[in-house]
Amino acid sequence: MSVKEDMEMGIKTITWVAAGLVLSLVLSACKSVPITGRQQFLIISESEEIDLGLTAYRKTLEEETLSTDAEKVAMVKRVGGRIAAVSGRSDYQWAFNLIEKDVPNAWALPGGKVAIYTGILKYTQSETGLAVVMGHEVAHALARHGGERMSTGMMTQVGVQGISLLLGQGDPQTTQAVQQAFGIGSQVGIMLPFSRHHESEADEIGLHLMAKAGYDPREASAFWKRMGQGGGKKPPEFMSTHPSDKSRVLRIEALLPKVLPIYEKNR
Ligand SMILES: [Zn+2]
């Protein structure tokens, strides 16, 4: 074999090995979403995701003020507790916080760390309304939408080699990336809206969760209608990341025949 042929063989081998590595990575990275069963692509493990979520959680709580309204705090913990109890994740270290801030926002991090902002309570109006938001946010965490978003982000931005670098613990850039992936806090950077597909999926899983927890799922379309009307001059944060349009309400209403029997059984 000539030197040239030898080199060509070498390059071919490297190409095949690389292709094989990518393929095995992709295959090992396919998981399925609870309730909807959709196949998703994840290159970070759930425990890595939970660790990252915990760092982002602590950092976010340091920056925010917790509500001292005992009655509302108790309501958030009660609704959260009921949704968590039917989530199928008793292994999570659940925590439900009410943050004193006049923005209509809420989030849930992997591992079960949840926060509701006081500004969204004027749209939720009741405990059932709060269960809509709670179910939806918990669904984003259960379905690992943030992890999925980080996975595609990592693949496109840094490539396979950069993953271990990007997963460095405690690094402020990593914390910020996690906060963004889960749609937290305006002061930490640009809010990334979840894709339309993730939103629909969180709505669907959220409806199942609230119905199973004994909350009337019909309240979901009423809540999103209120959100759609409450824009004002500047669109509220939750609204800009969770656009409430007619098609969303219609999709939710189309799911009701499936979830109402679950509610009837658990009310
Ligand atoms: Zn959402």
Task: Render pLDDT for 180-190 as a digit per residue (tens, 0 to 9).
Answer: 666 664 443 34
Helical H segments across the chain, by residue range: 3-28, 46-63, 70-85, 121-124, 127-142, 145-157, 163-166, 172-181, 196-212, 219-229, 237-241, 246-266
What pLDDT is attached to residue 187?
Answer: 40
pLDDT of residue 31: 82
Of the listed ranges 52-61, 78-87, 94-103, 200-209, the one predicted with least confidence: 52-61
Catalytic residue IDs = 137
- Cα dihedral sign, 56-230-257-213: positive
Q: How far apart are CA 5 and CA 59, in angstroms?
A: 56
pLDDT for residue 128 is more than 80: yes
Q: What is the mean pLDDT of residues 232-251?
A: 68
Rounded to the nearest whole angstrom, what is the distance from the C-alpha of residue 183 to the centroid of ligand 1?
8
Residues 111 and 92 sit within 8 Å (Cβ to Cβ): yes
Distance from Cα 163 to the centre of ligand 1, integer Å: 26
Q: How confident is the model at residue 81 (pLDDT cuts 50, 70, 90)?
A: very high
Q: If phi over 0 gives left and psi between -120 and 50 gives alpha, with beta otherwise, what is residue 82?
A: alpha
Q: Tell me how far the alpha carbon of residue 267 lies from the centroid of ligand 1, in angstroms.
A: 25
Residue (of 61, 25, 59, 63) closest to 45 by Cα position:
25
Q: Distance from the CA of 137 to the center of ligand 1, in angstroms?
A: 6
Q: How far is CA 164 from CA 57, 117, 225, in A?
A: 21, 33, 43
Between residues 250 and 15, which one has the greater pLDDT?
250
Which among 49, 62, 133 has a CA at the least distance from the CA of 89?
A: 49
Check pLDDT > 80 for residue 160: no
Say how many Å lie between the CA of residue 205 and the centre of ligand 1.
11
Expressed in angstroms and rounded, the spacing between residue 116 Cα and the centre of ligand 1 is 13
Exposed, middle or buried: residue 263 (CB in 10 Å: 0-12, 13-18, 19+)? buried
Closest CA to 115 of 103, 129, 125, 123: 103
Q: What is the mean pLDDT of the chain?
A: 81
Can you tell me the mean pLDDT for 31-59? 86
Q: How far is the CA of 47 from the centre of ligand 1 (A)?
A: 22
CB distance 158 to 165 below 8 Å: yes
Residues around ion ligand 1, judged by CB within 5 A, are 194, 202, 242
The confidence score (pLDDT) of residue 98 equals 98
Tens of pLDDT, residue by residue over 191-228, are 466 778 888 999 999 999 999 999 999 999 999 988 88
